[in-house]
Structure 1
Amino acid sequence: MTEPRKELRGLEGVAASGRPPARTRAQRLAADAADAAEVRHWQDHPDVIALRVERVRSQVDRLCWAGIVLGLAFTMANVQWFAAAGSVPWSLPWLAAWLLDPTVSLVLLAILRAEQVTARYQVHTGRWVRAAKWLALGATYVMNTWASFAAGSLSGVVLHSVTPLIVFAAAEAITDLRDKLTEAVNVAFMDAVDHAEPVSRPAVHQSTERKPRRTAAARRKLFADYLADARDAWSAGVVVTPAWIREVTGCSRGLSPRLAAALTAELDTTEPGKEQS
């Protein structure tokens, strides 16, 4: 009878001190497993992935814009010297020469700013946009290196070629990077919708009664299902935008541009048939 009495006295001491009983190692591991499962569940959530990609997109934009602006500022002095053509400093031709490079650079920055938005929603621009960008970059390169080519200075050509070529490459790469970052969000969302399995979370201090598992139909909603919801909600005169898609279907921000593009393509192909009938 001594052992039960000792155990009883130990429990009375814990109750008197007001401290909870120490958890066993198994209970601590179960709690850690539950926390890890919860963290893993939210790390794979499409909206969390989209938020991470948006942060990366902001960093990429800031770094690329800083490099492009610094590169264009470097070329400005070379272009001014090329346009001044030995004019007297502070004379009218010398001052007017400073306007040449900003004219080209502002056009280039306007195109890149527009592509920043179109690439965000994976809307591809036309040939004239790319032609204008290449013309602006080509003109900057020629004006930077013309004097070095004329003088036959190989080192001068290399020196004045590096910055315009870096700006040219960055201007092309930044558009593709934004497009691929948006595609990464879409792929992550579709992967989570199509392939994610319910996360098993060990219960800690909960009832051991098992709850019925949801069916696959209740757990998943495919791209076609969202598109069908948007199609049913659309009516004549409604402008299809990603924001409207999210409002009527409840889809994520990453998927809404693809749904808007798909629904717009359907409407473009069906409207002529309706008018003919």
Structure 2
Amino acid sequence: MTEPRSGNNRSGRVAAVRRPPAPTRAQRLAADAADAAEVRRWQDNPDVIALRVERVRSQVDRLCWVGIVLGLAFTMANVQWFASAGSVPWSLPWLGAWLLDPTVSLVLLAILRAEQVTARYQVHTGRWVRAAKWLALGATYAMNAWASFTAGSLSGVVLHSVPPLIVFAAAEAVTDLRDKLTEAVKVAFTDAADGAEPIDRRTVHEPRSRRTTAARRKLFADYLADARAAWSADVVVTPAWVREVTGCSRGLSPRLAAALVAELDISESGREHKS
């Protein structure tokens, strides 16, 4: 006599399947805290910060370049009209007038492209570079707005002044922005070096300024002390000289130079008063 077969159980018995217990609220909070700590650790990583700064730098460069090129393109027709001086259209002087604005604009764009690299590494370009940039911008502005000035048209002056002035301001601002973005990356790496220093349990609750660290962010007073130590009576204090002796950024050097000059003037007046 055969036993009846069961169609629902091939092996004769069904193994009981146990589901894992649901995590408690404390376990879920602990998992969330671990995930948040991991995300925060990577967000504070200097390489991640540098990558984000590079993305912002690329966006700033693209937007500024588009604005500068559009502004120069707007001025091209006005400069051509100024240079042609009523020549017959399509004549040789009329066609040659179209070359004037691109000549000035290409020089300006070449300078801005070079400053795009030098500002990234905080390298000072010198007075001639800035003089050439201002000369190109000033010539573009003068040729663009001259007819409106001579005609006495206030609206024409405003209309033909806005694009060159925007280009001028953008050309100066984008250099400082790149310099500050580079400074932001340096600060991120310096802060990371400060935080990476092993800390004893006794110093956990102490302020960071009291901890002994291998690398510390250089402050304004540190740069000023370096400049003060390097100064001598035959030195003329300028931002360029301050950058050379301290290695500070171009944006910080004018403040350092002014502070050092103020100290020197105070000390010099004190000597004269005593004498």
- State yes or no: 1:72 paired with 2:76: no
Determine the C-alpha separation between the residues in 1 that align with 2:110 and 2:20: 65
Residue correspondence of structure 1 range 192-231 to structure 2 within 5 A: 192-195=192-195, 222=215
Matches within 5 A, 1:167-182: 167-182=167-182
Cα shift at 1:192: 1.8
2:115 partner letter = E
For 2:90 and 2:18, the matched residues in 1 are separated by 86
Shift of 1:18: 5.2
How far has the Cα of 1:195 moved from its partner? 3.8
> Paired residue for 2:124?
124
Paired letter, 2:83? A
C-alpha deviations, 1:135-181, integer Å up to 9, x for none?
00000000001101111111111110000000000000000000000
Give the distance between the partners of 1:180 and 1:69, measured in 2 at CA.
23
Distance 1:45 1:91, change over 3 A: same
Structure of higher RCO (CA pairs closer than 8 Å, 6+ residues apart): 1
Q: Where in structure 1 are there 5+ consecutive unaligned residues? A: 1-14, 199-219, 225-260, 263-277
Return the alpha-carbon distance in structure 2 between the equivalents of residues 119 and 70 of structure 1.
Answer: 23
| Aligned length in residues | 194
The residue that corresponds to 1:84 in the other structure is 84
The equivalent residue for 2:56 is 56
Cα distance in 1 between the residues matched to 2:45 and 2:68: 34
2:97 counterpart residue number: 97
Matched residue type, 1:78 = N
The RMSD of aligned alpha carbons is 2.4
Are positions 1:158 and 2:151 aligned together? Answer: no
Match of 1:216 in 2: none
What is the identity, as a one-letter code, of the residue corresponding to 1:120? R
SS at match of 1:22: coil
Question: TM-score when scaled to structure 2?
Answer: 0.66
* Residue of structure 2 equivalent to 1:190: 190
Return the offset for 1:223: 6.9
- Listed as ranges, the gaps of 5+ residues in structure 2 are 1-14, 199-212, 218-246, 249-275
Distance 1:116 1:140 in 2: 21
Q: 1:61-86 CA distances to partner (integer Å, 9 max, x unpaired)?
A: 00000000000000000000000001
Name which one, 1 or 2, has greater alpha-carbon Rg: 2
Q: % of aligned pairs identical? A: 87
Partner of 2:27: 27
